[in-house]
Structure formats: C-alpha cells, structure tokens
C-alpha cells in the first residue's frame, strides 16, 4: 500500500490544488478597462493595442528601446549619503529605500546609459516612476548631473526621459538643492553647444518640471502625459474653479506652446534620431565657419597705418564728424561723396548707415 500513499495520493492532491498565477500575467488598461496579456503588452512597448494608452516603462526597458539593438553602457553613478536627515514618518526612510531597490533592482530613481542611436553616439537618462514615484533626491540629482557631464565629455547629445512626482520629501531641503544643481548641468550642455532633448512622460510634475525637465532645447511628450507643477486637484481647490478638459495633458500643453511635439511611443525613437542628426549637423557647421574678429572695427585700414589712426578716433564718432547722438542719417549723396580709400575705386569705399561703419 506504500505506492498508494507515496504516488497516487500526492498526484490527486496536486490535481485538485489551485495553481498560483503570477501577479502581472494580465494587465488592465486604466483608460478602457481592457485586459491584455503582459507579454503582448511588453512586445508592444507597453502601449495598449486597443486604446493606445501609454503605460509606464521601467528604466532598463526604456533605454533598451532607445539604443541600437538594445545594447548600451551603463554609466557608473556617484555615491551619496543614504539618509542624511535620519527621516522617519510611518516608516524609516532607509526601509522605504530597501523596498524600492528590491522592487526595481536599481539603486535609485535615475538610470544613465550611453550607446548609439542609428549609429550616432548619444547619452540618455531615464527616471523610473516605480522607484518612489521617480522623486528627485540627492542620488537622482547626482545621476542627472553625471549624465549631462558625460555627454559633454564625449561630445554627444543628451536625452532625458522625465517621469517624477517631484522632490523627495524625505530629504527635505537637500532634494530642493538638486533643482539649481541640475540647472548648472544644463548650462554646461549649452556652453558645449550640445543638444538637450527632453521626453516628458506620464507623469512629470513638481520640482522636476520646475527645473531641468523644462530647460531642454526640444521638448517631446508622450500622448496623454500629465505635465505640470501642482496637480489638477490642488489647483481646483486653490482657485475654486473647474479646470478645462484635458488641462495639463500633453495635447493641451502642445496647443499652448509648452511642448514642441506629442509623439507616439512607436515613433519616438525615430523622431529623436532625426532631431539629434539635425542639431549635431548644425553644430558641426557652426564650428566649421571662421570666427569673426573680437576687435571692433571703427574705420578702414589706410596704407598699413590703420591701427594708429583708428585708435585716434573717439568711440561713437563718424568719418563725417557725426556722433551716435545725431539724428541726421547719412544720405546717398554723402555716400557718393565719400572718397575711395587708397584711390583704388569704389570697391574699398566706406559706407555709413545709422552710425555703423563697414566695408562694402
């Protein structure tokens, strides 16, 4: 009878035992209520096929969808103090960080990577809303700065995918300090004449919107993304008025000039690639042009003695004795009466127009 107890009965129990289903096997669309198989949603870049609703994407999946063949170099980020304020509300801040790191597999809310986009080197940073709402803290601020500085060092465009609920309250004023710090990184990109492209995803709010998320050269947004500083409910309670339909959504901001283009996720990669190619081509063209002389030109050189004679002309004086304060403009007769320099003809004649002197 041992074979009955050891073989038959366990098989019967296994047959009637309820099978455990993974929590994320099926996903419900927040917009239409449609149920979709998770693997189909993942294969469609987390866009619901029926309604077109854009679900949130984890940072590694976002970077893999951007770079060629899904391959990129993960940029090492600097370490920061874990809990500088020893903050505790219902739970310790350190416990919340441990749970978020276990859930996402990341150290903090921002992931930075470098790779190629259609063969062109680019640097990108992604905020993961799954990590404490993508909140901006010291680690996230350092990550954004590291991404910007890496782009400057390598001479590549910088692409930022923003998704955040704002500053991280557990770090207090230290989180707010990241707003001006990241602005310094944006200035470095501007000085290097490198493109800074921001993709606003759902949701982008709070201090992130008030700082680096709105300082890009080009602002793209995904359809239906909530973009703003304070939420619609807070605004309605403050002004005690009903907000317009679609207020603070990507399409509403596009109509009012806050966003350059609303791009479907399936066309986002190609759009970013075209923008990077255009802006980098303009940058290379400007670098190839000869730079004008920094020294001001007051008059034409006369037989090699222009430096001494130019220095003797007071600032703002004109060859005919007028100054910047004169209201009389030079006429065509005055220009015709101007003698040619060195007697070589009209090619070197001096023309004056509204106080500006240049060579024709």
| pLDDT tens track, the chain, 360 positions | 566 666 666 777 666 665 555 566 899 999 888 899 999 999 999 999 989 999 999 999 999 999 999 999 999 999 999 999 999 988 999 999 999 999 999 999 999 999 999 999 999 999 999 999 999 999 999 999 999 999 999 999 999 999 999 999 999 999 999 999 999 999 999 999 999 999 999 999 999 999 999 999 999 999 999 999 998 899 999 999 999 999 999 999 999 999 999 999 999 999 999 999 999 998 777 666 665 555 454 445 544 444 444 444 444 444 444 444 444 444 444 444 444 444 444 444 334 443 443 433
Do 107 and 185 share a structural domain? Answer: yes
Please report whether residue 332 resides in a domain: no
Do 167 and 76 share a structural domain? Answer: yes
Residue finishing a domain among 10, 35, 55:
55
Do 233 and 136 share a structural domain? Answer: yes
Residue 76, H or E segment: none
- Indicate the DSSP class of residue 90: S
Please report whether residue 95 resides in a domain: yes
Do 93 and 109 share a structural domain? Answer: yes
Do 113 and 96 share a structural domain? Answer: yes
Please report whether residue 205 resides in a domain: yes
Do 32 and 77 share a structural domain? Answer: no
Do 268 and 141 share a structural domain? Answer: yes
Q: In the block, which residue shows the tokens 């035992």?
A: 17
Residue 50: per-residue pLDDT: 87
Residue 343: per-residue pLDDT: 44
pTM: 0.74
Please report whether residue 329 resides in a domain: no
Do 211 and 90 share a structural domain? Answer: yes
Please report whether residue 229 resides in a domain: yes
Please report whether residue 301 resides in a domain: no
Residue 66: per-residue pLDDT: 97
Do 201 and 166 share a structural domain? Answer: yes
Number of structural domains the chain divides into: 2
280, 195 contact by CB (below 8 A): yes
Task: Give bridge partners of residue 226 from the DSSP assignment.
Answer: 249
Do 41 and 135 share a structural domain? Answer: no
Write out the residue range of the structural domain in which residue 31 sits: 24-55
Residue finishing a domain among 244, 272, 287:
287
Tell me the pairing of strands 218-221 and 261-262.
parallel
Residue 331: per-residue pLDDT: 42
Please report whether residue 94 resides in a domain: yes
Residue finishing a domain among 232, 258, 287:
287
Do 41 and 125 share a structural domain? Answer: no
Please report whether residue 356 resides in a domain: no
Q: In the block, which residue shows the tokens 């403009």?
A: 329
Task: Give bridge partners of residue 158 from the DSSP assignment.
Answer: 123, 196
Residue 8: per-residue pLDDT: 66
Return the CATH number at 109. 3.90.226.10
62, 104 contact by CB (below 8 A): no
Angstrom distances, CA of residue 5 to CA of 21, 65, 109, 131: 28, 53, 53, 49
Do 170 and 148 share a structural domain? Answer: yes
Burial class (CB in 10 A: 0-12, 13-18, 19+), 329: exposed
């Amino acid at each position: 009878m041992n074979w009955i107890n050891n073989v038959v009965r366990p098989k019967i129990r296994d047959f009637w035992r309820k099978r455990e289903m993974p929590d994320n096997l099926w996903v419900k669309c927040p917009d239409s209520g449609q149920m979709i198989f998770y693997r189909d949603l993942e294969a469609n870049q987390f866009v619901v096929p029926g309604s077109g609703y854009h679900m949130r994407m984890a940072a590694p999946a976002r970077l893999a969808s951007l770079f060629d063949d899904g391959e990129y170099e993960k940029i090492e980020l600097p370490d920061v103090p874990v809990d500088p304020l020893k903050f505790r509300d219902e739970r310790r801040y350190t416990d919340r960080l441990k749970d978020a790191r276990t859930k996402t597999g990341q150290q903090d809310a921002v992931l930075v990577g470098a790779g190629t986009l259609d063969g062109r080197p680019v640097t990108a940073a992604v905020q993961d809303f799954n990590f404490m709402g993508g909140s901006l803290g010291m680690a996230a601020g350092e990550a954004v700065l590291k991404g910007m500085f890496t782009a400057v060092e390598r001479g590549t465009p910088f692409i930022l995918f923003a998704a955040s609920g704002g500053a991280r309250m557990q770090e207090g004023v230290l989180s707010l300090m990241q707003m001006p710090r990241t602005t310094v990184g944006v200035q470095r990109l501007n000085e290097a004449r490198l493109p800074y492209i921001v993709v606003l995803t759902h949701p982008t709010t709070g201090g992130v919107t008030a700082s680096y998320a709105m300082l890009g050269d080009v602002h793209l947004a995904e359809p239906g993304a909530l973009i703003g500083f304070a939420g619609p409910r807070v605004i309605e309670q403050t002004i005690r008025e009903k907000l317009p339909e679609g207020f603070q959504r990507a399409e509403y901001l596009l109509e009012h000039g806050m966003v350059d283009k609303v791009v479907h996720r399936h066309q986002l990669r190609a759009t970013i690639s075209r923008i990077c190619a255009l802006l980098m081509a303009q940058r290379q063209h400007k670098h190839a042009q000869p730079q004008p002389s920094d020294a001001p030109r007051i008059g034409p050189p006369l037989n090699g003695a222009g430096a001494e004679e130019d220095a003797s002309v007071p600032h703002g004086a004109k060859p005919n004795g007028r100054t910047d304060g004169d209201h009389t403009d030079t006429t065509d007769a005055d220009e015709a009466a101007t003698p040619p320099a060195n007697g070589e003809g009209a090619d070197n004649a001096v023309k004056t127009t509204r106080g500006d002197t240049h060579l024709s």
